Amino acid sequence: MAGHATKEIDAATLWGGKVSPFSTSYGKLMMWFFLVSDALTFGGLLVAYGFVRHDAQDAWPIGEETFNSLPFLGHGYPLVYVALMTFILIVSSVTMVLAVEAGHRMDRKGVTKWMIATIIGGFFFVGSQAWEWYHFIHGSEFGKIELADGSQAVVSGHFGEIENFVVTEAGHHHKKGEVIKEDLMHTFQHAAVAGHIENGIIELHDGSKAKITKKNDEHLTLIVKKAGAKYKLNDRIKDSKAAKEYYSALYSGTANRVIYGANLEQNEYGPQQYGQFFFFITGFHGFHVFSGVIINIIILIGVILGTYHKRGHYEMVEKTGLYWHFVDLVWVFVFTFFYLV
């Protein structure tokens, strides 16, 4: 098996130079040392995240509430997408270890096949992460709202579609009576953040005013994340009362009552640091996955050209394999501490 010493060596010779006391090649040993240092970096980041979470005064976001979307299917699928990402990365780790195994048998075709599978898995993971970032930045249709009593709440439920804006007061561009049907959601959210909606009347960019026609929301629930004068932390406000509280705040005509999605200063999910740690830790991990894919491609070219076959061993595949498994290992921890716990 990999790394086993084939010869018995007495201690004096073993520690007296020339041979490695670890019975392993220089390259592999250095890869292990690098991985230990990289593991310390990620360990430090996750501990810093734990620190901020433990001293946070506001409610920390809950994974299954924050990450509950699937591509093409919308909301309502808690954790399924990250579980899928985890599965993709585990599978690509398996194909990598199979490539290493094939290398130990000097099976060049096998190494090529499994390396290609690993690279495809890596691209899938990076793509998934891009989608998740897009979704995280874009946010939900409701956003996080500051209610009349000063409390802050996130919203779950189904957002009733906006059908159109009917212009009631002409501006530079739109005439009275005109029915606007394009770019509704985008315009609506911008106006809501800027405080340009009052009592169901939206003020558009050109100064015209329009009445919003919108279907009713379903299963509306407000979950209080920051206590105010009236509502306590983790209070749940439901149905018609929720709609009344939500829309009186959203249509209050004051700016910055609602936050959609996330940027580096604020996010709708929780404290400011939550978004920053999300971007930094998953971003740093994603960067590792991306560089891992690039390294794998370089090694794959070497395999196809026969460089390692001529050398008599496929240790380069084993070394990149170590790095690739490490990336999977880090994700296992990120998955637990960001999404589950």
Partner 1 sequence: MLRDDVIEYSLDGHHSEEAGKKIRAKIWKVTALLTAITLVEVLLGVYIKQGSGLWPFVKWTFIALTLLKAAYIVLIFMHLGDEKKSLKYIVLVPYFLFMLYLIFIALMEALAVGDAWATYGG
Please name the residue that has the structure tokens 């406000």.
Answer: 237
* 127 contacts: CB under 8 Å, gap ≥ 6: none
Smallest gap from Cβ 100 to partner 1, in A, equals: 8
Q: Is the separation of the CB atoms in 194 and 261 below 8 Å?
A: no
In the region spanning residues 135 to 164, those forming contacts with partner 1, defined by CB under 8 A, are none
Q: Does the footprint of partner 1 cover residue 124 (CB under 8 A)?
A: no
218-226 and 236-238 strand pairing: antiparallel
Q: Is 66 in the site for partner 1 (CB under 8 A)?
A: no
Interface characters, 225-254, with partner 1 (x: CB under 8 A): ---------x--------------------
DSSP state of 232: P
Number of residues that bind partner 1 (CB under 8 A): 76
Q: 210 and 202 in contact (C-beta within 8 Å)?
A: yes
Question: Which of these segments, 61-69, 174-182, 201-209, 269-277, binds partner 1 (CB under 8 A)?
Answer: 61-69
* Cα end-to-end span (Å), the chain: 37
Residue labelled with tokens 């439920």 = 157
Single out the segment in contact with partner 1 by CB under 8 A; choices: 72-80, 140-148, 165-173, 195-203: 72-80
Give the nearer residue to partner 1 in terms of CB position, either 94 or 116. 94
Q: For the CB of residue 180, give the shortest distance to partner 1 in the complex, in Å.
A: 40
Does the protein bind partner 1 through residue 93 (CB under 8 A)?
yes
269: its two tokens? 């999910």
| CB proximity list for 3: less than 8 A, separation 6 or greater | 23, 24, 28
The residues with which 259 forms a beta bridge, in sequence order, are 144
**What values do phi and psi take at 272, rounded to 5?**
-50, -45
Q: Which of 129, 285, 315, 320 binds partner 1 (CB under 8 A)?
A: 315
Within 8 A by CB and 6+ apart from 14, the residues are: 21
Stretch that binds partner 1, among 37-45, 139-147, 177-185, 239-247 (CB under 8 A): 37-45
Which 3 state secondary structure label does DSSP give 75? strand
Q: Smallest distance, Å, CB 62 to partner 1?
A: 5
Kindly indicate which of the ranges 98-106, 153-161, 178-186, 294-302 contains the residues binding partner 1, using the contact rule CB under 8 A.
98-106
Task: Choose which of 75, 78, 131, 279 interacts with partner 1 (CB under 8 A).
Answer: 78
Please identify which residue in 41, 73, 74, 90 interacts with partner 1, judged by CB under 8 A.
90
Please report whether residue 40 would count as binding partner 1 according to CB under 8 A. yes
**Which residue in the set 76, 87, 256, 263 belongs to the binding site for partner 1 (CB under 8 A)?**
87
Residue 33 contacts by C-beta under 8 Å, 6 or more apart in sequence? Answer: none
